[in-house]
Structure 1
Amino acid sequence: MSFTFRQSDFKKIGKLLNAAPKAMGTNFRFEVSGKDPHRKLALEIFPHIRIGDQKGNLVSVYTESSHLQLHFCSGFVLSDMLGEVTFIGEHNGKLSGLIIEREGGCSLYANVDRTLLSGDFTRLGPEVMLSGIALSLTDSILDSADRKLPQRRTKKKAR
C-alpha cells in the first residue's frame, strides 16, 4: 500500500515550516524563507499524480540554484527541535531523503543503504556518516513495503 498525503499533513508541514500551504490545483505549495535573504525555497507536494505508468505522489523543491524531486514518497517526519521536515522514499532497501529546513535550506540524500540508519555511525567515514545521521530520524516510520507508513512528529536531539 502506498503512502497518501492527507489535508491534515499539509497543515502540519506548513506549521513546522512557518509557511501556509497554498492549494494550486493538483498540488500544494509552501514558500519557505529564513532570515538570510538567499535562503529561500518553494516546496510543492503533488499528492496524486501520474508518474510514468503509475500514480503516486511527488515532492518537489525549487531553490535559487536547484530543483530537487522525490518520487513516490513513503512518509515523512517532522522535527520541531531541528526545524525540518524529512520526506523519505524507499525502494529495495535503498532510501532517498529530502530534508526541508524552516530557515529555507534543503538537502537530498539518495540511494542510501537502509542498514546505515541503525548501524554504528562512528565506524563510517565522515562522507558516509552524514547521510546515515540525517536520515536516522526516519527509521521510526520505515517498515515492511506492504505497510502504510505514517507521519511522525519527533523531538529527537540532533546528533
Structure 2
Amino acid sequence: MAFTFSDEDIQRIAAALGVAPQIEGSSVRFSLFDPESGRRLTLEIQRALQLPPALQEVMPPNLVSVYTPSSFLQLQGCTGYLASQELGEVIFFGRQQGFVSGLVVEREVGCSLYANVHERLLSADFMQLPPEMVMSSVALSMSETLFNDLDESSS
C-alpha cells in the first residue's frame, strides 16, 4: 500500500518545525518565519492528489512543495519522511527505481533539495566519495531504514 500522510504524521511534522498546521481538505500548510533574518518559507503537503489511473499504480499521491520569496521546490511522489524535534527539521523522501530524492525543511527557515541520488550512495563509505556528493549521501542515508520497512511491508 502506498504511503499517505496521516493526521498523526502532520502533528509530528508540526512539532518538529514548531508551527501549527493550516489544514484545508487534503492540503496542509506550514508557514515559517525567522524575524532575525527575515526569511520566510511555506511548506505545503497535498495528501491525496487525484492522479490519473495510469499514475496511481506507480506514484504515491503525496506532493510536497516549498515556497520562498526566491524559489519553489517540489517533491512529487513522497514515499516517507523523518521528523526530528531535536534537529528542528523534517526530511521528505521520494524513492523510485533505485534513486532517492529528499527535501529537507528546517525550523530556522532553511530548505535543501537533493535529487536523483542512487541508493547505493546511501550506504557507501562517505570518505571515499567526492566532496560534492557527501552532503546528499549523508542527508539521505537516514532514509534507508524507511525503505527497508517499505520493502518488508510490500513482501
Normalised by the size of structure 1, how large is the TM-score?
Answer: 0.85
Choose between structure 1 and 2 for higher RCO, CA contacts under 8 A separated by at least 6 residues.
Answer: 1
Structure 1 residue identity aligned to 2:66: V
Match of 2:49 in 1: 49
Match of 1:139 in 2: 144
Change (3 A) 1:147 1:83: same
Match of 2:122 in 1: 117
- Could you say which structure has the higher helix fraction? 2
Aligned-residue offset at 1:100: 0.3
Moved more, 140-149 or 91-100: 140-149
Structure 1 residue identity aligned to 2:117: V
Unpaired runs of 5+ residues, structure 1, are 150-159
Change (3 A) 1:82 1:144: closer
Normalised by the size of structure 2, how large is the TM-score?
Answer: 0.88
Distance in 1, Cα, partners of 2:153 & 2:77:
12
Cα pair 1:2 1:148 within 8 Å, conserved: no
Aligned-residue offset at 1:33: 2.1
Unpaired runs of 5+ residues, structure 2, are none
Distance in 2, Cα, partners of 1:40 & 1:139:
30
Runs of 4+ in 1 over 4 A off after TM superposition: 144-149
Identity %: 44
Distance in 2, Cα, partners of 1:81 & 1:94:
28
Match of 2:97 in 1: 92
User: Deviation digits for residues 52-82 of structure 1, max 9, x if unmatched?
Assistant: 5435110111011111111111100012332
Match of 2:11 in 1: 11
Moved more, 102-111 or 17-26: 17-26
Change (3 A) 1:75 1:65: same
User: Deviation digits for residues 67-118 of structure 1, max 9, x if unmatched?
Assistant: 1111111100012332110000000010000000010110000000011111
Matched, 1:39 2:39: yes
Cα pair 2:82 2:91 within 8 Å, conserved: yes
